[in-house]
Homo-oligomer: A and B are copies of this chain.
């Protein structure tokens, strides 16, 4: 008889996330009520945003309660159903959790999708999921790109960053990426088509700023920021008039008790520039439009998305931590079954 394993959050993380903050519960499969269906989860999306949901602070989603399953975007197949709307065998995706099985309901947020249209079913968690939607709305809405302008992307070899750089090129922008190490920098140019790459390793704010200045002598019109602190401070030193900084993430400080944020905010004043938070869910009604466009670009070979798949619910913690040490090679996905 099948069992349901669930990854639970059992302690509020203090600074660096520890393996002991999680445990795995093993339980019988849940019983279904009328209108419900049971999903066998096959893949889960591992995203930096999940780190924020583990803290007990007000946010766009409630904190994950202690003792509850870790919230995550998942895809899977309906294996039992008490609603005609979600027949057995149907692929579905939704914001569920790190668990073998999830229960969905008619009228809930779990969506059906046509897996046969996708090159790989996991694309639904990468380019057609939060990563693609965040890159799409974060770049188009918060950066307001204009052809010929210069875009700086930090965390550029990451899932969102690499897509944003490619979107920049599709919109006629000059694109500079910041990443850690020579291999990632080469990948930015060779695989994702960036115009220039900067290795942040071993550079303080002044050296980073000088490297940006060398790549963009007239400054940058747009910044897509995933990292924060030193890297954001260096970007702020290179803004052009009316620059737009899309603040998508601050991964440098998610596992730290010390927050730095940005120290060079004066630059926003003298360049009449702005920082705006990126939150894809603000554009929920436009998700179908975005998915259609992203899928078209993918099919036409205009976008490259890399996926890094680790296996096994028991490996959720080390796989998640790869997002913070930068050892992932693309969108981080956990294969559950």
Contacts of A228 in B (CB 8 A): 265
Q: Which of A77-85, A177-185, A268-276, A314-322 has 4 or more CB atoms under 8 Å from chain B?
A: A268-276
A185 to B114, CA, bound (A): 61
Q: Known: A259-B263, A260-B263, A261-B264. Is A273-B276 also a contact (CB below 8 A)? A: yes
A266 to B252, CA, bound (A): 12
A242 to B267, CA, bound (A): 22
Contacts of A259 in B (CB 8 A): 263-264, 266
Q: Known: A266-B250, A269-B248. Is A275-B275 also a contact (CB below 8 A)? A: yes
Contact B264 A263 (CB under 8 A): no
Contacts of A278 in B (CB 8 A): 269, 272
Contacts of A275 in B (CB 8 A): 265, 268, 274-276
- Is A210 an interface position by the 8 A CB rule? no
- Is A249 an interface position by the 8 A CB rule? yes
Interface positions, chain A 244-300, Cβ under 8 Å from B, are 247-250, 253, 259-279, 282
- Is A52 an interface position by the 8 A CB rule? yes
- Is A59 an interface position by the 8 A CB rule? yes
Q: Known: A274-B275, A274-B277. Is A52-B261 also a contact (CB below 8 A)? A: no
A58 to B271, CA, bound (A): 10
Contacts of A60 in B (CB 8 A): 241, 270-272
- Chain B minimum-CB-distance residue to A248: B269
A10 to B242, CA, bound (A): 33
- A158 to chain B: closest CB distance in Å? 16
Contacts of A249 in B (CB 8 A): 269
Contact A277 B282 (CB under 8 A): no
Interface centre among A60, A263, A271 (most CB of B within 10 A): A263
A146 to B60, CA, bound (A): 22
Contact B277 A270 (CB under 8 A): yes
Contact B265 A269 (CB under 8 A): no
A262 to B275, CA, bound (A): 12
Contacts of A265 in B (CB 8 A): 228, 232, 247, 250, 261-262, 275
- A48 to chain B: closest CB distance in Å? 11
Q: Which 7 pairs show the lowest CB-CB distances between chains A and B? A: A268-B277, A269-B277, A274-B276, A261-B263, A259-B263, A261-B265, A272-B279
A and B contact pairs by CB, cutoff 8 A, 15 listed: A60-B270, A228-B265, A247-B268, A248-B269, A253-B266, A259-B263, A259-B266, A260-B263, A261-B264, A267-B277, A268-B277, A272-B276, A272-B279, A272-B282, A273-B277
Q: Using A262-B262, A272-B276, A274-B275 as known contacts, list a sample of 14 further A-B pairs with CB atoms less than 8 Å apart, ordered by residue number in A.
A: A59-B270, A232-B265, A247-B268, A248-B269, A249-B269, A253-B266, A260-B263, A261-B262, A268-B275, A268-B276, A272-B278, A273-B277, A274-B277, A275-B275
